[in-house]
Amino acid sequence: MDYRQSIARLLALVDHERNLVTGPRQKAIYDLTRMEALLGLLGNPQHQVPAVHIAGTKGKGSTAALCDAALHAAGSKTGFYSSPHLHTFRERIRRDSQPISQEKFAGLVEGLWPLHEELGGDPSIGPLTLFEYLTGMAFQCFAQDRTDVQVIEVGLGGRLDATNVLDAGICVITSISLDHMAILGDTIGEIAADKAGIIKPGSTVVIAPQVPEALSQVLAACESKGAAPILVGRDVTWEEGESSLDGQRLVVRGRNGEYDLRMPLLGSHQLENAAAAVAALEALASQGIDVPLQAMQTGFQRVEWPCRMEVLSRAPLLVADGAHNVYSVESVLKSLPKYLEYDRLIVVAGFSRDKNVGGMAQALGEKADSVIATASRHPRSLTPGEVAGLFSGSGKPVALARTPAEAIKAAIGQAGPRDLVLATGSLFLTAEVRESALGIEPEVYPELTSPGQQGI
């Protein structure tokens, strides 16, 4: 089986990332029975490697990437599992901070396929979903390669997420806000309780700054599981340093020492993500994994986590940020004038239809000087016309573009030398903007192209 054939097999699986949730909540969609059955047939590889398990609404990917980069710099053989991918499925499964090869990926798909067919033939279990299959591939890869540590990002929620078959000694809960409400719950408290479902008995739990309603749920879960909480902002603190287009500096005061760090990730929210990563890396000492200061400094400096306030061009200034909920969009808009100098803000916007698109459009419309509405390839994306309609009451000029590439070309065409073009609203949108700006060849599957790119 070659790589293209392996992708074709994966795309034949049920994919809840691409399909809208319209029925009852998560229990009807996600169930750990299939994962437990698959991993049992594989010899439970998820238990063979010490793990850092990271959940949250905002910042979990950045925090995970920082942990992985520092662990790799410390000389550990690392595994890193994240989602979604930007340009290739291989990004989701990384070894030593790099996506696995096409050959390795195809081999994992081929190796698990007979087990998938066996489970699919059992009416009490049923076939694996795409995310479950990829999660099984990641655990198998990291165990086969005898990695020293694995950093696992939750896909959605926590309690019933496919990754929650781990017995992780270190758990991290990043900032929690309203997102995926149709699945996780209508309130911050419900969502926090679901995400706190990753906390395991006796584990160490790093908790990023939270609103009181979320913090109370996470602390209650820690108490019920006999887990030890570490509060970022109280037990581990940070002090902001200077910044430029190339990154920002900060000093983190951890429980074991003080860390003078620099990272290429921009935005005020990345400071608390960095502090959470330091707290998790310090806590790994209890698992026999040491990450010294120099490794943290090297790893943080080298971390790559695209489409998070990423500067793609300086003349004119082009920034891509995959914010896809109201809280994240507001955080980006607040950080922009703090980190960047510009006169006018031109927004390239695209949204997925399962999000609070009205709230995001309102926040963007209040700050933008003009808007270009577009659509990504993703099947859940709104059409450019639908996006434009969300800005109709903003009083700002709104243009339509069929694709993100066309939108960026139009935005740059109207930008002055001191203007800022911001592409945001969806990770899928910003991935395509990045491809256009940097000349990246993506994996494109015509059968999954959004109707929104077929016309405006």
- Alpha carbon distance 265, 159 (integer Å): 29
- Residue indicated by tokens 């509060």: 231
Name the residue type at position 46: Q
- Alpha carbon distance 205, 223 (integer Å): 11
CB atoms within 10 A of CB 113: 16
- Alpha carbon distance 309, 335 (integer Å): 9
- Alpha carbon distance 250, 438 (integer Å): 29
119 within 8 A of 34, measured Cβ to Cβ: yes
353 within 8 A of 428, measured Cβ to Cβ: no
CA–CA distances in Å: residue 113 to residues 9, 42, 118, 120, 136: 9, 12, 9, 10, 11
pLDDT at 356 (0 to 100): 87
Specify burial of residue 242 (Cβ count, 10 A radius: 0-12, 13-18, 19+).
exposed
Specify burial of residue 252 (Cβ count, 10 A radius: 0-12, 13-18, 19+).
buried
- Alpha carbon distance 279, 63 (integer Å): 10
Edge to edge, the sheet with strand 237-244 lists 237-244, 247-253, 258-263
Name the residue type at position 323: A
Architecture of domain 3-302: 3-Layer(aba) Sandwich (3.40)
pLDDT at 19 (0 to 100): 52
275 within 8 A of 252, measured Cβ to Cβ: yes
The CATH number that domain 310-454 falls under is 3.90.190.20
CB atoms within 10 A of CB 14: 15
Per-domain boundaries in the chain: 3-302, 310-454
Question: Which residues of the chain fall below pLDDT 70?
Answer: 15-30, 179-185, 446-456
- Alpha carbon distance 313, 358 (integer Å): 29
pTM for the whole thing? 0.93
pLDDT at 396 (0 to 100): 94
Could you report the per-residue pLDDT of 383-439, keeping only the tens digit for each?
999 999 999 989 999 999 999 999 999 999 999 999 999 999 999 999 999 999 999
